[in-house]
Structure 1
Amino acid sequence: MDFKVLLMVIAIFAVGEGSSKSQVSRGNILPRDEPSFRLPFNTLPLHYDLSLTTDIHRGDFDFSGVVRIKFVAFIDTSQITLHYRQLSINNIDLFDDSDPPELLESNLEFTLDPEYEFIRIVTSPGLNENQNYTVSLSYNGTLREDNYGFYRTFYKNELGETVWVASTHFQQIDARHAFPCYDEPQFRTTYSIDIRHDASYFALSNMPVESEVLEDETNYVTTRFEMTPLMQTYFVAFVVSDYASIENNATLRQRVFARAAAIERGEGNFALEVGEVILDAYEEYLGVPYNLPKLDQVAVSDFDWGGLWGGLCIYREDNLLFNETITTTRQRENILRLISHEYLHKWFGNLVSPLWWSYIWLNEGFAALYERLLTSAVYPEHRFMDLFVIYAIQGMLETDADPNIRPMTFYIERPEEILQIFDNVAYAKAGGVLQMLRVAIGPSTFTKGISNYLELMAELSAIPEDLYASIQFAVNEDYPVDPPNVGVIMNSWEFQSGFPLITVTREGNRLVFTQSRFYYGNETSDELWWVPINYVVASNPDFTESLPDLWMDQQPTVILNSANATKPWTQNDWIVVNIQETFYYRVNYEEDLWNLLINQLNGNDSNVIHLLNRAQLIDDSLNIARAGMISYEIPFAILEYLQREVDYVPWSAANRGLTLLNRWLEGTSAYPNYQSFVRRIVEPLFIEYGMEVIANEPELNRYARSLAINLACESGIESCLSGTSQRLVDLVENGVFIAPDLQKCEHQNIFPKGL
């Protein structure tokens, strides 16, 4: 047995034998004591040989297939269990491992279990332990309409004709719709794929084309692809279309495929350029090369999101194609970020994959972080890490206050649960917690640990403990004296829901830090975390050093004396905790400390406090007031400083809270006073940016302009209302073009008013 296969076998059995309800658990998650949706693990796949036939070119949505799965029997058994979904099974044969294979049994008996989506194949007399076999299944299916599995999509060509395309979307558990398989993430095998299709179309898959054979007396071609490296079922992908393409001239072949008209207009050029830059950046940063011979990106009309399926990345058109006349700045940013996100999955998801769906945050948390962290290194003008704080961190802190929110690692196995676990916890929270760990141990140490992880676990399935051990090795090297225990720290975040509120009080020459789980309601909890604490004081306003000044080691209270602190303070000093909001928690202060911060922000130089901490103070104060822990006088006093703030980041933090307050107050007697307040603070921003897009201006200026227009019109600033109305008149009467970045503002601020 191959060494990689052996390691996979060990990992599979260590996580718990699903059908036998083993209570052995690798990773502290236990299979449920009920009928299992997990495969029984009595056999293990070694290789798939998949042949498909489609007539998508003529709008025929039926397809046929034959899959030959080489597998090994772990134990003496008479049953093979595979996944299927919406397939009609025609015939099943069993072969031995000889060369050429010898037929052992034809037309095997089988039963279908649609609830559990199992094909249970019965063999006679049975399978012998440690013996290899091949099972061959012929079947038929129908291309789906819901953008999952092997599905159909279409576009209208320049003549207005409908052109059909066959595409795939197998993540999470939809490979079973294209071919019967072991459709679980811990199984890795090689694949040999061929697709029979009309010669007017061509086929793409994960690997380069090995051969194209035109049939005699027909117009059909069979495209066969090179064998893949070890992959999971959900990384398999193929597209059958008549698309056009562009490609690069680099050593690694990269191409972008889309409708011919879109390619001719140059709408794929941006994606091709970004793909090259991002891939180079990942290889350099991670120290692990991309190991496939090509990388294709495909834009289809219908797709839920992007996905890198080992050499073939499929996106919905508006997530890949860029047209300067219609694409907004926000869409351009999303294209860049999504390409970065999906490319990252070649390492976190394909090279190393989670042992089970419960650990999907090992994929998506890294992708959520690195899509901004590494992209910001090569495209600094986008300020992606500033946006990470206000979108991912601050947005998730609001969601994560729900008392019913799940923890990062949470056992699931039912199909609907697997779909649901791809949520904000797996993406934004996991990304935020990983960023916190990265900053807490130092970026270089973290990167070294990640490289250890990718090298050690290459082509294997991982659990969080594997990640922690790899990072711990780097920590021990870089911090030989009293190194922090990565596993202990991370377990407090991995298995507990929610996050802490750190409350800071000053008692003479002492700072007292208290932690408790943050809720908006009256719920209580005894949960405690390992919390890194860093801070800045007014007499030494250095916001660049983010390493922890102390740790709260799952203690409810920690006291720091000024005499022993590396950053001593005076009684007149304001104090900011959580430098640049790099750690995943909220901070509350006693009233005197809040007032010192308010005085600084509303004084002559609010910029002394870092941009991200200005955004943090706005976001934390609004949400802590929402929870009833402080008076709304505090966040409103902080918001007053925005009259002198022109950067988008603090305004974005404010806008989230103001949107909620507007919804609460609209229609009440307090609403006119609230609108007056908003008019006062937003009018300088509205004047600063005006109502016209400026060529080549920073992207965040365009976001700030849109935000200012929305708040100005919503609060009743007359020049905003008249300006948006006039722009609509100019469009209707004179055909004056409205810039893409302003079209949403125009719609939002005109049509609700009945104009």
Structure 2
Amino acid sequence: MLKFVVSIILCALAARDSFGDQDFRLPSNTAPISYDLQFYPIFNGANSTFTGVAKITFKAFTSDKIIVLNQKDLTVNTVLVTDITTQKNQTISQTINKPDYEQYEIYLNSAYIKGRNYLLTITYGGQIRNDLTGLYMSSYKEGNQTKWLAVTQFEGPYARRAFPCYDEPSFKSYFNITVVKPKNMIALSNMPIRKTEPGPTNTTEVVYFEQTSLMATYLAAIFVGEFLPSKNGSDLTVYTHKDYIDQTQYITEIAPKHLHALEQYTGIPYMLPKMDLLAIPDFYFGAMENWGMNTYRESYLLLNDDAKTKNKMRATLVVQHEFTHQWFGDLVTCSWWDYTWLNEGFAAYFQYFATKMVNPNWRLDELFVIDQHQKALAYDQTPRHPITTSVSTTDDISDVFDTITYNKAASVLRMLKYLVNENIFRASLQSYLNINKEMSVSPEDLFVAFDSTLADNSTEFGNDLTVYEFMTNWTTQSGYPVLNIVKNQTSFSIVQPVSPFFVNAADGVNKSGAWHVGLTFTTELSKNFNYFSPSAWTNKLSSTTVIPAPRNLTGWYIFNIQSTGFYRVNYDADNWDSLTRQLNNNPADIHVLNRAQLIDDSFALAKAGQLNYSVALSLSNYLKNETDAIPWYSAMNSLSYLLERMPRSQDGYGNFKTHISTLAGIIYKRFRGLVSQGNTEFHVLSFWDTFATWACSLDDVDCTADMLNYFNKWQTGEKIPADIKDAAFCVGVKNSNDSSVFDKMFDVFTTTKTISEKFSAQAALACSTNKTQLNQYLYHIFDGPNGPIKLSDFDSVVTAVSKTPIGLDVLYEFLSTNLNKILNEVLDGENIVTFIYSTLAEKVTSDGQIEKIKYLKDNTTIPASVKKSFDKSYKQVNQNLVWFNAFSPEISQWSFVNKDAPTTVSPAPTTPPTSPASTAHPAPSTPPATTIKPKRSSATSNTHSSLIILLLTVFTVLFIKYTT
């Protein structure tokens, strides 16, 4: 066993050495073998503290006199270094705390001996934090009593805030964890309890947990609180507090199936003896994959019978995301944060495709294209970091949890799956996991597994490429290409520009890139949307590729079948016209994912000035006959961006909004018809929710009347469907002049025990048209940890308030009046003010609004770091003005010409909407044996409108921390 441990450490150190000697990285002279940790939380409300003992067994890889660990904000009391062989203590000359590098240096009088093991014992203490990192406090109300709990969040560089450690993912170790807890509370950790003993006082107990498998520090976890368990005859347990324990049934029933899905797919049984899922009241991330003890936001785990369908779907996806990490991230771990995508990309991929194994009717392979693939394309069409990035500071670690690391990485993995086929993809991943169990890895380890599997199956990847060459091409350069395709008499000419596709031409200056692209296409003659083997490849060394075109082809053609490739496609005018005619005449002849692709690509190309907006808008007009929801999601994203930008146009905005409102009303009524006919399938109810919210936000008459009717019934105590509460609550608050309606909704927000209803009420409060009410709503951020708005939810509140012009005015007044108060009195105040400002900069349109936020930005009294962020966000204002001046006249003209055009509406389908093209050419079925964790998102990480982000809460995002 020791030999195996040493091999693990040597592998980790080799990975460490490849990064150079950045000051914030730990040296490679020592490495941990195991930790014995004791945590003793002392509860005193928001001022709770803890003491700790960290016993670290480490191996010396050189003869040196210095030991360097990570630690932040801890008070070290004693340090002892013992030679395990001789049991003699080493004399310590000095210790130095280096807060700028979050390091702690221990200097010895005589050098430790290379190859020998030592025991480092540190006693220390600290504050139980209130910023949702490290070991932190959270609270909830039980009646009138505030209940406190302590829980950990260690990813990325936050374990060092709870114990001195080698806080880098390559330093995998065994953990023996002990917790001293009050007798009235429970303690949980990664492993089951080994034994419990009396504590140091009459009111405490000491809980000893079993030793963990080899794992990184960021995966260690503890919880101390008064939670109750909910089991379902398995080793999986859901924990929450007493008031919510009846909302655990859904997850308790479905979670074992989703854990088993990964066992089936990987061929590797789940490694630990138990799995706990904890619903935490205050949680920045969407969820966290601590091995054996996953933690979640309450809204992602707690669901009663009256929960919205989209919340159930979202919770299922998030649970599957965290379960995927038990293999991709926990068992096999990225060796450094440059490679975070090896953890998050797979989790974002399998949260859809493993969930599909359990729920094959949820259409998750198609929804993946909308929520992951198209979102990543939109995010990456402004300059970003590559998938494999460069992390240089501790701040960079947090920043890397973004749409690139989650969505783009998942989309590129999907592209790889289609290029090698599902069987090779699965076999390669099984090989990767088995070879690298309990190890830390780099992307090369993954790519080699694919190339080895291809070789074992006597299969070529294509274009004389290895998977290593292909994937390195896609993971180490940022951006993606647009392929410009022109049909000649007998051939297609495919041109790949020398620079990535950017929506802002200035972004492309001095940027270059070339990608290996496997070309797939079909035509009006064949309509084969299920053949994924490339017909040809672009040549990375040449901008133009010429391939034969089918004889006698006079109609349309489509490249990038089912959007399997991560790139955009532009055509000549004749083909865009042909495609538009086909969509208007019979959209079902084109696969549903390619219909969504045509909408998404055309509007992105128009935004970049590479296609006339009139082409994209005319193409999207076919939606009046579109019965499938998938292309509508693409349309919502694209059209809502234009709707946010067009209020500056006094002449064109009215016609354009009317056009979009008419379209939204069409799809709303179709899904209303499906539901009224008794269709209760998951995706149908979820789509009904989304389209009702969209149509009512655009003041569609039928939607508004329906939702007012539902709201009035709810007001009288009648039960209404949970799936329209988002829309009904919003319409009810928006259309009421009675302050009692707002007050009642606020009471629902603060008192309901139904998590789903709570967030419907939270969003509805932002629909008020009363500035005083909106201002009062925002002011609850000052109520502190026990206030109605949790710190982790404030971004959602700001986004919801920003949806209306009145809301934007209120947000500006709130920020300008309270900027210093927020910075000085609110936890995470700087992130809050910068998020509000970035939201304003993205959405303001009038000269008056722009002048106000410019004045605020130029205020000389704001802190330098805040000023820097404001300046960066304000660039979006200038980019929006450039866009408006360039494109609004064309959009206004198109809207005027088409404002009186008759709208032909197809009747509501009587069955769940599917693509007839899919039926005609069924996709290959998944083999029976074959079988997402969103981190906090960045304030500037989404190029789509925030309205549609809310509408697309069927899925998470990532989080992203940005964030995945």
Return the TM-score normalized by structure 2: 0.73
Q: Report SS of the residue matched to 2:407.
A: helix
Quick one: structure 1 residues 36 and 58, their matched pair in 2 at CA, closer, same or farther if it must change by over 3 Å? Answer: closer
What residue is the counterpart of 1:530 in the other structure?
516
One-letter amino acid matched to 1:556? S
What residue is the counterpart of 2:179 in the other structure?
195
**8 Å CA contact 1:274, 1:339 repeated in 2:** no
One-letter amino acid matched to 1:538? E
Q: 1:353 aligns with which of 290, 310, 333?
A: 333
Quick one: structure 1 residues 350 and 720, their matched pair in 2 at CA, closer, same or farther if it must change by over 3 Å? Answer: closer
One-letter amino acid matched to 2:136? Y
What residue is the counterpart of 1:137 in the other structure?
122
Residue 526 of structure 1 and its aligned partner are, at CA, apart by 3.2
Residue 521 of structure 1 and its aligned partner are, at CA, apart by 2.0
Q: 1:445 aligns with which of 399, 412, 424?
A: 424
Quick one: structure 1 residues 152 and 481, their matched pair in 2 at CA, closer, same or farther if it must change by over 3 Å? Answer: closer
One-letter amino acid matched to 2:43? I
**8 Å CA contact 1:145, 1:153 repeated in 2:** yes
What residue is the counterpart of 1:420 in the other structure?
399
Bigger CA drift: 673-682 or 126-135? 673-682
Quick one: structure 1 residues 481 and 672, their matched pair in 2 at CA, closer, same or farther if it must change by over 3 Å? Answer: closer
**8 Å CA contact 1:693, 1:739 repeated in 2:** no
Q: 2:536 aligns with which of 537, 540, 550?
A: 550
**8 Å CA contact 1:537, 1:569 repeated in 2:** no
Equivalents in 1 of 2:46, 2:424: separation in Å?
Answer: 54
What residue is the counterpart of 1:370 in the other structure?
350
**8 Å CA contact 2:664, 2:700 repeated in 1:** no
**8 Å CA contact 2:15, 2:170 repeated in 1:** no
Asked if residue 570 in structure 1 is aligned to residue 557 in structure 2, the reply is: no
**8 Å CA contact 1:64, 1:140 repeated in 2:** yes
Q: Which has the higher contact order (CA 8 A, sep 6+)?
A: 2
What residue is the counterpart of 2:886 in the other structure?
none
Matched ranges for 1:240-319 at <5 A: 240-250=224-234, 253-263=235-245, 265=246, 267-304=247-284, 305-319=286-300
**8 Å CA contact 1:92, 1:108 repeated in 2:** no
Q: Report SS of the residue matched to 2:611.
A: coil
One-letter amino acid matched to 1:477? D
Asked if residue 636 in structure 1 is aligned to residue 592 in structure 2, the reply is: no
Q: 1:398 aligns with which of 366, 369, 378?
A: 378
Q: 1:657 aligns with which of 638, 656, 667?
A: 638
Q: Deviations over 1:5-31 (max 9, x none)?
A: 3433443443454xxxxxxx4xxxx54
What residue is the counterpart of 2:318 in the other structure?
338
One-letter amino acid matched to 2:633? S
**8 Å CA contact 2:136, 2:151 repeated in 1:** yes
**8 Å CA contact 1:57, 1:165 repeated in 2:** no
**8 Å CA contact 2:662, 2:700 repeated in 1:** no
Q: Report SS of the residue matched to 2:538.
A: strand
Asked if residue 151 in structure 1 is aligned to residue 132 in structure 2, the reply is: no
Q: 1:743 aligns with which of 702, 720, 725?
A: 725
What residue is the counterpart of 2:597 in the other structure?
616
Bigger CA drift: 678-687 or 410-419? 678-687
Residue 726 of structure 1 and its aligned partner are, at CA, apart by 4.2
Bigger CA drift: 522-531 or 685-694? 685-694
User: Where does the alignment leave 5 or more consecutive residues of structure 1 unmatched?
Assistant: 18-24, 563-567
**8 Å CA contact 1:308, 1:345 repeated in 2:** yes
Equivalents in 1 of 2:712, 2:321: separation in Å?
Answer: 41
Asked if residue 754 in structure 1 is aligned to residue 769 in structure 2, the reply is: yes
One-letter amino acid matched to 2:442? I
What residue is the counterpart of 1:697 in the other structure?
680
**8 Å CA contact 1:31, 1:411 repeated in 2:** no
Equivalents in 1 of 2:61, 2:571: separation in Å?
Answer: 60
Return the TM-score normalized by structure 1: 0.92
Quick one: structure 1 residues 66 and 90, their matched pair in 2 at CA, closer, same or farther if it must change by over 3 Å? Answer: same
Asked if residue 607 in structure 1 is aligned to residue 593 in structure 2, the reply is: no
Residue 480 of structure 1 and its aligned partner are, at CA, apart by 3.6
Q: 2:434 aligns with which of 441, 449, 455?
A: 455
Quick one: structure 1 residues 485 and 200, their matched pair in 2 at CA, closer, same or farther if it must change by over 3 Å? Answer: same
Quick one: structure 1 residues 216 and 345, their matched pair in 2 at CA, closer, same or farther if it must change by over 3 Å? Answer: closer
**8 Å CA contact 1:57, 1:163 repeated in 2:** no
Quick one: structure 1 residues 661 and 482, their matched pair in 2 at CA, closer, same or farther if it must change by over 3 Å? Answer: closer
Q: Report SS of the residue matched to 1:125.
A: coil
Residue 489 of structure 1 and its aligned partner are, at CA, apart by 0.6
One-letter amino acid matched to 1:296? D
Structure with the higher fraction of residues in helix conformation: 2
What residue is the counterpart of 2:525 in the other structure?
539
Residue 470 of structure 1 and its aligned partner are, at CA, apart by 0.3
User: Where does the alignment leave 5 or more consecutive residues of structure 2 unmatched?
Assistant: 735-766, 771-964
Equivalents in 1 of 2:186, 2:617: separation in Å?
Answer: 61
Equivalents in 1 of 2:92, 2:40: separation in Å?
Answer: 22
Equivalents in 2 of 1:701, 1:435: separation in Å?
Answer: 25
What residue is the counterpart of 1:22 in the other structure?
none
Matched ranges for 1:212-227 at <5 A: 212-215=196-199, 218-227=202-211
What residue is the counterpart of 2:757 in the other structure?
none
Q: Deviations over 1:213-244 (max 9, x none)?
A: 12487122110011111111011001111211
Q: Deviations over 1:114-148 (max 9, x none)?
A: 11111111112221111111010000111111111
Quick one: structure 1 residues 716 and 344, their matched pair in 2 at CA, closer, same or farther if it must change by over 3 Å? Answer: closer
Residue 375 of structure 1 and its aligned partner are, at CA, apart by 0.7
One-letter amino acid matched to 1:654? A
Quick one: structure 1 residues 736 and 292, their matched pair in 2 at CA, closer, same or farther if it must change by over 3 Å? Answer: same
Residue 739 of structure 1 and its aligned partner are, at CA, apart by 3.3
Equivalents in 2 of 1:753, 1:225: separation in Å?
Answer: 51
Kindly, what percent of the aligned residue pairs are identical? Answer: 30
Asked if residue 520 in structure 1 is aligned to residue 499 in structure 2, the reply is: no
Quick one: structure 1 residues 119 and 667, their matched pair in 2 at CA, closer, same or farther if it must change by over 3 Å? Answer: closer
What residue is the counterpart of 1:581 in the other structure?
563
One-letter amino acid matched to 2:640? T
Q: Deviations over 1:605-655 (max 9, x none)?
A: 211111111111111111111111111122122112111112211100000
Q: Report SS of the residue matched to 1:439.
A: helix
**8 Å CA contact 1:532, 1:549 repeated in 2:** yes
**8 Å CA contact 1:514, 1:556 repeated in 2:** yes
Q: 1:38 aligns with which of 5, 18, 25?
A: 25
What residue is the counterpart of 2:857 in the other structure?
none
Residue 390 of structure 1 and its aligned partner are, at CA, apart by 0.6
**8 Å CA contact 2:186, 2:225 repeated in 1:** yes
What residue is the counterpart of 2:110 in the other structure?
125
One-letter amino acid matched to 2:374? Q
What residue is the counterpart of 2:443 in the other structure?
464
The CA RMSD measured in Å over matched residues stands at 2.2
One-letter amino acid matched to 1:241? G
Structure with the higher fraction of residues in strand conformation: 1
Quick one: structure 1 residues 357 and 719, their matched pair in 2 at CA, closer, same or farther if it must change by over 3 Å? Answer: same
Matched ranges for 1:58-69 at <5 A: 61-69=48-56
What residue is the counterpart of 1:2 in the other structure?
2
Equivalents in 2 of 1:645, 1:678: separation in Å?
Answer: 15
**8 Å CA contact 1:175, 1:183 repeated in 2:** yes
Quick one: structure 1 residues 536 and 478, their matched pair in 2 at CA, closer, same or farther if it must change by over 3 Å? Answer: farther
What residue is the counterpart of 2:813 in the other structure?
none
Quick one: structure 1 residues 338 and 708, their matched pair in 2 at CA, closer, same or farther if it must change by over 3 Å? Answer: closer
One-letter amino acid matched to 2:452? F
Residue 540 of structure 1 and its aligned partner are, at CA, apart by 1.1
**8 Å CA contact 2:70, 2:164 repeated in 1:** yes
Asked if residue 674 in structure 1 is aligned to residue 656 in structure 2, the reply is: yes
Equivalents in 1 of 2:212, 2:566: separation in Å?
Answer: 40
Quick one: structure 1 residues 476 and 116, their matched pair in 2 at CA, closer, same or farther if it must change by over 3 Å? Answer: same
What residue is the counterpart of 1:565 in the other structure?
none
**8 Å CA contact 1:647, 1:704 repeated in 2:** no
Bigger CA drift: 571-580 or 186-195? 571-580
Q: Report SS of the residue matched to 1:127.
A: coil
Q: 1:500 aligns with which of 481, 485, 498?
A: 481
Asked if residue 53 in structure 1 is aligned to residue 40 in structure 2, the reply is: yes
Bigger CA drift: 84-93 or 670-679? 670-679
One-letter amino acid matched to 2:334? P
What residue is the counterpart of 2:189 in the other structure?
205
Q: Report SS of the residue matched to 1:218.
A: coil
**8 Å CA contact 1:75, 1:128 repeated in 2:** yes
Residue 76 of structure 1 and its aligned partner are, at CA, apart by 0.8
Equivalents in 1 of 2:290, 2:264: separation in Å?
Answer: 21
**8 Å CA contact 2:83, 2:90 repeated in 1:** no
